Structure 1
Amino acid sequence: MDTTRNSTPLKLAVIVASNRTGRFAPVLVDWLRGRLAEHPDFDVDIVDLAEVDLPTALSFQPDAAVSAELAKVSPVLDAADAFVVLTPEFNHSFPASLKALIDWHFGEWQAKPVGFVSYGGMSGGLRAVEQLRQVFAELHAMTIRDTVSFHNAHGHFDETGRHKDPTGPDAAAKAMLDQLAWWAHALRDAKAVRPYGA
């Protein structure tokens, strides 16, 4: 039996959930890019929901405007072997922009792993992550147990966007990305032998 692992880099889609004006997300995206640069397994695409306008009302036959928005993101999601969702917590949940992206797709999520980087106040966005685990389970995605969470995120970064004490978050990111890569390789290899659901 050939046990050689597919050496092609994993396609990772990083989904930036916040689309608010003045959002903190770009600081965390820059931080995450630095961690991903240290992880050779991934070929990274950024899906920034501030650049996508998907309605929350779904339809089986999207109009031309919605189809144009889907064309920005659907091919990236479909090609991805894994996802990292970078999300804030709004009112004990995750942003509507993220729910719209999730709900407009189905097969793109199936049998793929999803990791989380969250941020917020005292909870660090963990309530948003716990809700997302339920949503992604319904879509047959596999969520990574370890997360990266920034409690009161603004206070942990200096004016240049550098984390003041990166040891903890960097270790958490390494653990999450290592697990994500393991699951992404395992699921990609398994689907090459037997399509999911067959």
Structure 2
Amino acid sequence: MRMKRQINPENGGIWPCLDFSPPPLAQPLAKADPAPVAISDAGLNRHRALLKQLGEQGDEALAAHLAHGPLRRLSEIVCDHSPYLTRLIEREAAFLAAHADAPPQATFDALVAEVEALGVGLSADEMGRALRVAKRRMALIAALADLGRLWPLAVVVRNLSTFADAAIARAVAHSLGALFRKGNLAGGDDIDAAIAASGYSVLALGKLGGRELN
């Protein structure tokens, strides 16, 4: 829900009214429309510190995005209320700068595709590292799209479930693949058939498959 202006057909005047239509998912992150909230002086100071940090680490492109326009307001809110997301912005500055002008849904879909493409031949360390990076980037994009009112709640929880499904599926396939290569998993020479026939199941509530808040 957001405010929009509507023209009075009788006198041509303009008055504000509530807009209950869902936000278009094709809107880029740079078109975020965060709710109007007060920013504390401490939050503004943290935002200035973030811009300085980004400049010092060579991420001028993102610093420019966060210093002007809709992303400035959104990043000020983040700095005021979420140290975790502020750290993610610092850590994933290059990633965020590269996707600031893209619809967050497209960025999210690409992250899920990357997770689904992770091979079972990776080492445990490589798989764990790749999943942690993807999770970190997904959390940042999802939070900014939510706070920026680009994703309605139903899309937020749907996407969290979709990512959880993909990440858990790859982690399980990797673990079972390691057992298969050691000869501890029946199934002949077909690793995919062996994994499918293993009977291994994952039970969970909420985000994993439930597409709902828990």
Whether TM-score is above 0.5 comes out as: no
Q: Normalised by the size of structure 2, how large is the TM-score?
A: 0.28
More helix by share: 2
Q: Normalised by the size of structure 1, how large is the TM-score?
A: 0.29
